[in-house]
Structure 1
Amino acid sequence: MHPTATRAAVLRDFNAPLELTEVPLPKELPAGSAIVRITSTTLCGTDAHIWAGAMPFVPLPIILGHEMTGEVVALSAHSGRDACGKPVEIGSRVVWSESVCGHCQGCTVLREPVLCDNRGYGFGQRSDRWPYAIGGLAEYVYLAPGAHRIVLPADLPDTWAAAAGCAVKTVVRAFANAGGVRPGSTVAVQGSGPLGLVATAFARAAGAGQVITLGGPPNRLALAAKFGADATIDVTDVTDPDERVAQVEELTGALGADLVLDFAGAPTANREGVLMCGKRGTHVVVGIAGPQAAPVPMDVVMGREITVVGSLNGDVGDLARALRFLSAFADRFEWDAMFSPAVGLSGAERAIRDMESMAAIKAVVDPGLD
Structure 2
Amino acid sequence: MTVPTSTRAAVLTEHGKPLHLTEIPLPAEVEPGAALVHVSCATLCGTDVEIWSGKMSFPGMLPMVLGHEMVGEVVAVGADTRDALGRDIEVGARIGWSESTCGECYGCVVLREPVACSRRGYGFLQRSDVHPFATAGLCEYAYVVPRAAKLLLPDEIPDNWAAMAGCAAKTVLRAFSYVGGLTGKRVVVQGSGALGVFATAVAHLSGAAKVITVGSPASRLTLAGEFGADATVDIAEGSERIVERVTELTGGRGADLVMDFAGAPSVGREAVAMAAQRGHVVIVGSTGPNSEPLPLGAVMGKELTVHGSLNGDISDYHKAIEFFSAFADRMPWNDLFGTPVGLSAASERIEAMHRLDEVKAVVDPRLP
- TM-score relative to the length of structure 2: 0.97
Corresponding residue of 2:171: 170
Corresponding residue of 2:294: 296
Q: Does 1:224 align with 2:232?
A: no
Identify which of 352, 362, 365 aligns with 1:364. Answer: 362
Corresponding residue of 1:346: 344
- 1:122 Cα deviation (Å)? 2.6
Corresponding residue of 1:277: 275
Contact 1:269 1:289 (C-alpha < 8 Å) held by counterparts:
no
Q: How does 1:117-266 map to 2 (within 5 A)?
A: 117-176=118-177, 178-236=178-236, 238=237, 240-266=238-264
Contact 1:279 1:304 (C-alpha < 8 Å) held by counterparts:
yes
Q: How does 1:35-74 map to 2 (within 5 A)?
A: 35-57=36-58, 59-74=61-76
- 1:207 Cα deviation (Å)? 1.1
- 1:289 Cα deviation (Å)? 5.6
Corresponding residue of 1:103: 104
Deviates more, 1:54-63 or 1:197-206: 54-63
Q: Deviations over 1:77-124 (max 9, x none)?
A: 110x32123332101001112111111111111111011111111332
- Unpaired runs of 5+ residues, structure 1, are none
The 2-side partners of 1:217 and 1:328 are apart by 30
Q: How does 1:299-310 map to 2 (within 5 A)?
A: 299-310=297-308
Contact 2:65 2:124 (C-alpha < 8 Å) held by counterparts:
yes
- 1:30 Cα deviation (Å)? 2.2
The 2-side partners of 1:292 and 1:19 are apart by 30
The 2-side partners of 1:123 and 1:134 are apart by 7
SS in 1 for 2:319: helix
Q: Deviations over 1:151-208 (max 9, x none)?
A: 11111100000011110000000001x2233310011000010000000000011111
The 1-side partners of 2:91 and 2:234 are apart by 47
- TM-score relative to the length of structure 1: 0.97
Contact 1:125 1:134 (C-alpha < 8 Å) held by counterparts:
yes
- Unpaired runs of 5+ residues, structure 2, are none
Contact 1:268 1:289 (C-alpha < 8 Å) held by counterparts:
no
The 2-side partners of 1:220 and 1:329 are apart by 21
Q: Deviations over 1:313-361 (max 9, x none)?
A: 0111000000111121111101000111000011111111111111111
- What count of residue pairs does the alignment treat as equivalent? 366
Corresponding residue of 1:77: 79
- 1:260 Cα deviation (Å)? 0.5
Contact 1:260 1:282 (C-alpha < 8 Å) held by counterparts:
yes
Q: Which amino acid aligns with 2:142?
A: V
- The CA RMSD measured in Å over matched residues stands at 1.2
Contact 2:247 2:274 (C-alpha < 8 Å) held by counterparts:
yes
The 2-side partners of 1:145 and 1:304 are apart by 47
Contact 1:181 1:203 (C-alpha < 8 Å) held by counterparts:
no
SS in 2 for 1:368: coil
The 2-side partners of 1:331 and 1:102 are apart by 37
Corresponding residue of 2:115: 114
The 1-side partners of 2:181 and 2:227 are apart by 16
Corresponding residue of 1:9: 10
SS in 2 for 1:321: helix
